Amino acid sequence: MKGIARLLEVDRLRIAFRTEQEEAVAVDDVSFAMGHGETIALVGESGCGKSVTSLSIMGLLGATGAVTNGEIRFDGSVVTEYGEAELRKLRGKEIAMIFQEPMTSLNPVMKIGEQIGECLRLHRKCSRKEAKRAAALLLKKVGIARPEAVAKDYPHALSGGMRQRVMIAMAMAGNPKLLIADEPTTALDVTIQAQILRLMKRMQEDRGMAILLVTHDLGVVAEMADQVVVMYAGQVVEEADVFTLFRDPRHPYTQGLIQAVPSIDGDGRRRAKPIPGAVPSPREMPEGCRFHPRCPYAVDRCRLENPNLQRIGEHHLVRCWAAHSSSLVPEELSDLGPVITV
């Protein structure tokens, strides 16, 4: 973050969901910051707290979820203190969000042009005629052929890639400073994925917006991110710039994620090595380090004490008792060469 003005700061964030019987902590003591025009990736398996963290920035935790500690600051304002009316002004205009499956976000009974036009009228205060013209222009900018015709279609008539482009057009309608992209390419084939990522990069360059990318796909991370925040069981376990993270991963979970990526190199096909076990439930967190039941290097201290994030480099943080030990990096990881090209 050196030399970059901070746009978003997440500080010691704790998020809990309440039921009649208990409280489940989904995010615990998460901190990170990003600057204008920067791309940060939140990485981890399903259930690690990535999406919940991103939804909290928009104030979309629902009736049972709440930020119980810490705060979120956006462009100098503490948004965790905002009421619903202030949040509605923030959403779309200052911060926009696109989701993994656009069919859950697009209104199935409204035409595409009407949905984009609604965003334009809300955020730009323009007339219906102006909104209709601007909607077609936005569809053209996101690479949709025949934008006037597509504007008259309903979501079900479009392919998954086209629906995701529509979602990006809607997100761009308010000219946001921050775009949150929650698994934006997971449901798409690899060719369409590449097109969507290029589109997001181009829009970022054209508008100077920041991108918070929520994903489990390390290929997408290598393609898009400047900084990477690895989450596990509701906590940050490693944070580094994208080059450092792939060249010198220090947390066993990060190493496991990298080794789980199948690859083809000069010596033939390298098999993926899955991480054994599963992410624990927020209601059944293990004692000590939360990763120790799945960690091949766990010792007694790991089972008893949960480590704090430690700084092992200028911009490299790791939550592991052996973070400073070079012997933690498995030999097979270094022998494999770069798993992801960055």
What is the tally of structural domains in the chain? 2
Does residue 26 sit within a domain?
no
CA 24 to chain CA mean position, Å: 22
Residue of 239, 172, 251 whose CA lies nearest to 34? 239
Q: Are both 165 and 244 inside the same structural domain?
A: no
193-207, 251-265, 325-339: lowest mean pLDDT where?
Answer: 325-339
Question: Which domain-ending residue is among 175, 202, 223?
Answer: 175
Does residue 22 sit within a domain?
no
Q: Are both 326 and 241 inside the same structural domain?
A: yes
Q: Are both 239 and 313 inside the same structural domain?
A: yes
pLDDT given at position 125? 81
Q: What's the predicted TM-score (pTM) here?
A: 0.90
Q: Residue holding tokens 């601007």?
A: 134
Q: Which domain holds residue 319?
A: 232-335
pLDDT given at position 277? 92
Question: Which domain-ending residue is among 126, 154, 175?
Answer: 175
Q: Over 70: is that where the pLDDT of 270 sits? A: no
Q: Over 50: is that where the pLDDT of 162 sits? A: yes
Does residue 120 sit within a domain?
yes
Does residue 46 sit within a domain?
no
Confidence category of residue 342, pLDDT binned at 50, 70, 90:
very low
pLDDT given at position 95? 95
Does residue 71 sit within a domain?
no
Q: Over 70: is that where the pLDDT of 88 sits? A: yes
Task: Please work out, in degrees rounded to the nearest 5, the angle formed at the alpha carbon of residue 106 by the alpha carbons of 104 and 109.
Answer: 110
Question: Which domain-ending residue is among 110, 140, 175?
Answer: 175
Q: Are both 169 and 259 inside the same structural domain?
A: no
Q: Over 60: is that where the pLDDT of 329 sits? A: no
More confident residue, 102 or 201: 201
Does residue 241 sit within a domain?
yes
Output the CA–CA distances (angstroms, integers) from residue 155 to 89, 158, 188, in the order listed: 26, 6, 16
Torsion of CA 48, 172, 125, 137, to 10 degrees: -150
pLDDT given at position 214? 95
Does residue 114 sit within a domain?
yes
Does residue 64 sit within a domain?
no
Nearest-angstrom CA–CA distance, 7 and 36: 6
Q: Are both 237 and 325 inside the same structural domain?
A: yes
pLDDT tens digits along 33-74? 999 999 999 999 999 999 999 999 999 999 999 999 999 999
